[in-house]
Amino acid sequence: MGNRGMEELIPLVNKLQDAFSSIGQSCHLDLPQIAVVGGQSAGKSSVLENFVGRDFLPRGSGIVTRRPLILQLIFSKTEYAEFLHCKSKKFTDFDEVRQEIEAETDRVTGTNKGISPIPINLRVYSPHVLNLTLIDLPGITKVPVGDQPMDIEYQIRDMILQFISKESSLILAVTPANMDLANSDALKMAKEVDPQGLRTIGVITKLDLMDEGTDARDVLENKLLPLRRGYIGVVNRSQKDIDGKKDIRAALGAERKFFLSHPAYRHMADRMGTPHLQKTLNQQLTNHIRESLPALRSKLQSQLLSLEKEVEEYKNFRPDDPTRKTKALLQMVQQFGVDFEKRIEGSGDQVDTLELSGGARINRIFHERFPFELVKMEFDEKDLRREISYAIKNIHGVRTGLFTPDMAFEAIVKKQIVKLKEPSLKCVDLVVSELATVIKKCAEKLGSYPRLREETERIVTTYIREREGRTKDQILLLIDIELSYINTNHEDFIGFANAQQRSTQLNKKRAVPNQVIRKGWLTINNISLMKGGSKEYWFVLTAESLSWYKDEEEKEKKYMLPLDNLKIRDVEKGFMSTKHIFAIFNTEQRNVYKDLRQIELACDSQEDVDSWKASFLRAGVYPEKDQAENEDGAQENTFSMDPQLERQVETIRNLVDSYVRIINKSIRDLMPKTIMHLMINNTKAFIHSELLAYLYSSADQSSLMEESADQAQRREDMLRMYHALKEALNIIGDISTSTVSTPVPPPVDDTWLQSSSSRHSPTPQHRPPASVPPPGRPPAVRGPTPGPPLIPVPIGIAASFVAPPIPSRPGPQNVFTNNDPFSAPPQIPSRPARIPPGIPPGVPRRPPPSAPSRPFF
């Protein structure tokens, strides 16, 4: 076993396993352990019971082990067991252990044969065991029973692979001797995850139940169907022995007697049986842990470093210390203010790459959403001209006016300015909503103290609502100021002289021709001839056209649509549709694309729709106006204007257009400034300077800084993990890595494991010589002997031997060497061979000397 430090390795891994399991996480470490794999009723549970020397595992027909059982065997002077889920209770009656396993299994899986990957942790202290950590896994089954799902075979397979695929796990592949070894599911699964055979140990059970006249000697000697680490045979109690309550110690004695008395196994009895298996597993697990130490140490150190910063504040933690509470309160309020400012002003750390948030969303409201809302209330040309004509006529009264009246201009302009109130107030509401979201996200870091988080959110949100009222009052005041005086001397105002020379067309100031305004993916929802057809394209919007391509490389252009006479309208999304849709159409009732009067464009979210609409506005494509008036009312109001009135209407129309542009420009500039000053900047200042005072006045410090139960549990778990990691590193640091250990056995020919499930293991027709015969006598053989192989086969791998150099002269063979640790000791053969080796039966003469290396057939 080596030094005392190495003997502490397995208990160390057990401690780590318990610490991490109780915390509810594995700490991302694959701890060395032994996974027991085998078919249903292969005898896995019996092997484990033999290790412990007690009956403690559930018994029955069908699938009994339905949850992984992590069994930690620990050498101790007293004998008892304890479960991780009820650690305070020590079980001295192992019947109670069985009942607890059954109850805990049923608690998670139900009582009707269900399975679960959640393990049960059981630790057994006993003077009769060696330190081992094993995992008893559910048996491989094919047919579902009870409540088991139809894919039970794949579920169990996935569960087993989850444990044995880890490089740190040794695999104990259990196969009964009375089944075909080449079809062993356990060995096949082990081969999948351990193709080199470095981690797989074979166990053959039920040797006493083989048919009379057959034995498993060739398998146990690792000559037939070899494994790199070989096989160990065991004899478990029969069902009759279990029902008769046969003592396990007596069963172990019977097992020893079986191997000593059986003619096929007596020569290797010291390498068979449960005690030898337990000792071998203990040695190999210890060596496996020793080999894993460097990687385990580096992982432990990296985990320790990652925890150290958080644990530093918990080391001398006293929950009721008022100094600590004051310090924590100050730090959290300060951090809350910093986080709020970072989310508004932007920051390079913790950047959200999935969606816009905080200041970016507010910027979008200022420069995309608000301008879009302003343009949406763009006046309808016919309605505006009609209103202007009514205003002129009503001002002139019974007289026919010779000049264009100023009062008509003022009346129309004021009416347009009043319309700015609704989108301006809506902009404030959008910003308030975004600020509330920012506050909630910033308060998430206060989750350790629920009362503090609740009070902070309430105080800051109340302050924002208060500032909202003042901001809205200020914005309405700005609009009222604009209404109070119409400044016709503004430098950008065109004046009466220029207004009379302007054309009647709307003055759409387009961007620079060919300037790209936006690119992105959109779905054309009605492109197919079939209703409801859709296809996604890459769209490019410029100041003059809308083009779409097959992909973002923009090599294959599908179509280019000029923006002249185009407008946008909203489209209701379908009943089953998740997309948000808007449409582009031609105001002159022409087809927009092929035979379509309108193109329906779909986005994933309403935000994307609004953003695209804002981009179209920049290109001069405006939304459609809602026609509230019915056709009859419109016909009643239709009239023909005389030429003089028409000129006056045109002049005022141009003046209104010019002045409204000035007002819109001013409001678009002042709105973000007003909101930033009165709401956002004030909120930042409030958080930094006054929030702490409000918190102190709202509640006492003790109640504010009362920890949540989750936080207290998290702190305890973190400290426990930290100390477990530190202790593990200390123990590992004291271990001498110069411990004597057995080398890994050489590779063997295990291609038999790659065969299909239908292949049967070959029937042994002979056994190779297990000893060196005396000189002058040919090696002993049993049964008909085949001719020599054409290609030499390594000794100990195939059940045959190499032919002598000169077939006609039998002589002493070379010494039979075998590196396998489980090979048979030398012995004298029981009887001489009847036929010399290398000469097939029935051949009457010897081969000619000229061809000594290849006999005739």
Please list, residue by residue across 325-342, b when 16 or more beta carbons sit within 10 angstroms of its beta carbon and e when fewer do: beebbeebbeebbebbbb
Cα gap 652→409, rounded to integer Å:
6
Are 582 and 621 spatial neighbours (Cβ–Cβ below 8 Å)?
no
Are 528 and 558 spatial neighbours (Cβ–Cβ below 8 Å)?
no
Looking at per-residue confidence, does 22 or 180 come out higher? 180
The pLDDT score that the predictor gives to residue 779 is: 44
Cα gap 185→183, rounded to integer Å:
6
Cα gap 506→653, rounded to integer Å:
10
The residue behind tokens 């644990």 is 311
Cα gap 529→552, rounded to integer Å:
25
Cα gap 246→223, rounded to integer Å:
35
Residue 628 half-sphere exposure, CB side, CA atoms within 13 Å?
Answer: 2
pLDDT tens track for 596-646: 888 888 888 888 888 888 888 878 788 876 544 444 444 444 444 566 677
Among residues 267, 228, 179, 89, the alpha carbon closest in space to that of 747 is found at 228
Given a cut of 60, whether residue 212 has pLDDT beyond it is yes
Give the pLDDT mean for 58-83: 80
Cα gap 540→519, rounded to integer Å:
5
Q: Would you call 339 helix, strand, or coil by DSSP?
A: helix
DSSP assignment string, 717-780? HHHHHHHHHHHHHHHHHHS-TT---PPPPPP---GGGGS-TTPPPPPP------SPPPTTSPPP
For the CA atoms of 467, 468, 469, 470, the dihedral, rounded to the nearest 10 degrees, stands at 50
The residue behind tokens 């988080």 is 453
The pLDDT score that the predictor gives to residue 320 is: 64
Q: Which residues contact 419 (CB under 8 A, 6 or more apart)?
A: 377
pLDDT tens track for 433-458: 999 999 998 888 887 788 888 889 99
Burial class (CB in 10 A: 0-12, 13-18, 19+), 802: middle
Q: Give Cα 556 distance to the centre of its chain.
A: 38
Q: Which residues contact 275 (CB under 8 A, 6 or more apart)?
A: 252
Q: Which residues contact 721 (CB under 8 A, 6 or more apart)?
A: 19, 20, 23, 27, 307
Picking from 751-755, 780-784, 829-833, which range would have the lowest pLDDT averaged per residue? 780-784
Q: Which amino acid is at 474?
A: Q
Helices (H), 356-420: 359-364, 370-376, 381-396, 406-418
Are 75 and 130 spatial neighbours (Cβ–Cβ below 8 Å)?
yes
- Residue 681 main-chain phi, psi, to 5 deg: -65, -35
The pLDDT score that the predictor gives to residue 701 is: 72
The pLDDT score that the predictor gives to residue 304 is: 81
Q: Give Cα 563 distance to the centre of its chain.
A: 46
- Residue 523 main-chain phi, psi, to 5 deg: -105, 125
pTM: 0.48
Confidence of residue 649 (pLDDT cuts 50, 70, 90): confident
Q: Tell me how far CA of residue 714 lies from CA of 708, 721, 823, in angstroms.
A: 10, 10, 54
- Residue 262 main-chain phi, psi, to 5 deg: -80, 130
Q: Which two tokens stand for residue 519?
A: 């690119």
Q: Give Cα 765 distance to the centre of its chain.
A: 54
Highest mean pLDDT: which range of 112-121, 294-303, 334-343, 749-758: 334-343
Given a cut of 60, whether residue 854 has pLDDT beyond it is no
Picking from 438-442, 538-542, 650-654, 759-763, which range would have the lowest pLDDT averaged per residue? 759-763
* β-strand partners of 231: 202
pLDDT tens track for 764-797: 433 444 444 444 444 444 444 444 444 343 433 3
Cα gap 397→412, rounded to integer Å:
17
DSSP assignment string, 78-112? S-EEEESTTTT--B--HHHHHHHHHHHHHHHH-SS
Are 48 and 136 spatial neighbours (Cβ–Cβ below 8 Å)?
yes
Mean pLDDT of all residues in the chain? 75
Cα gap 101→495, rounded to integer Å:
94
Q: Would you call 539 helix, strand, or coil by DSSP?
A: strand
3 state SS for 312-323: HCCCCCCCCCHH
Among residues 360, 456, 365, the alpha carbon closest in space to that of 683 is found at 456
Burial class (CB in 10 A: 0-12, 13-18, 19+), 857: exposed
Phi/psi zone of residue 82: left (φ > 0), alpha (ψ -120 to 50 degrees), beta? Answer: beta
pLDDT tens track for 512-531: 556 788 888 888 887 655 55
DSSP state of 572: P
Cα gap 533→383, rounded to integer Å:
38
Q: Which residues contact 5 (CB under 8 A, 6 or more apart)?
A: 731, 734, 735, 736, 739
Helix 248-261 to helix 44-52 angle (10° resolution) is: 110
Are 73 and 130 spatial neighbours (Cβ–Cβ below 8 Å)?
yes
Q: Which two tokens stand for residue 154?
A: 């794949």
Q: Tell me how far CA of residue 410 lies from CA of 41, 401, 413, 659, 815, in angstroms.
A: 98, 17, 5, 10, 121
Among residues 184, 189, 185, the alpha carbon closest in space to that of 162 is found at 189
3 state SS for 624-652: CCCCCCCHHHHHHHCCCCCHHHHHHHHHH
Pairing of the two strands 69-75 and 132-136: antiparallel
pLDDT tens track for 361-419: 898 888 888 888 887 766 666 777 777 777 777 777 767 666 667 787 888 888 888 98
The residue behind tokens 């504010």 is 704
Burial class (CB in 10 A: 0-12, 13-18, 19+), 506: exposed
Q: Which amino acid is at 718?
A: M
Q: Would you call 74 helix, strand, or coil by DSSP?
A: strand
Picking from 107-111, 291-295, 549-553, 763-767, which range would have the lowest pLDDT averaged per residue? 763-767
Residue 372 half-sphere exposure, CB side, CA atoms within 13 Å?
Answer: 19
- Percent of the chain beyond pLDDT 70? 71
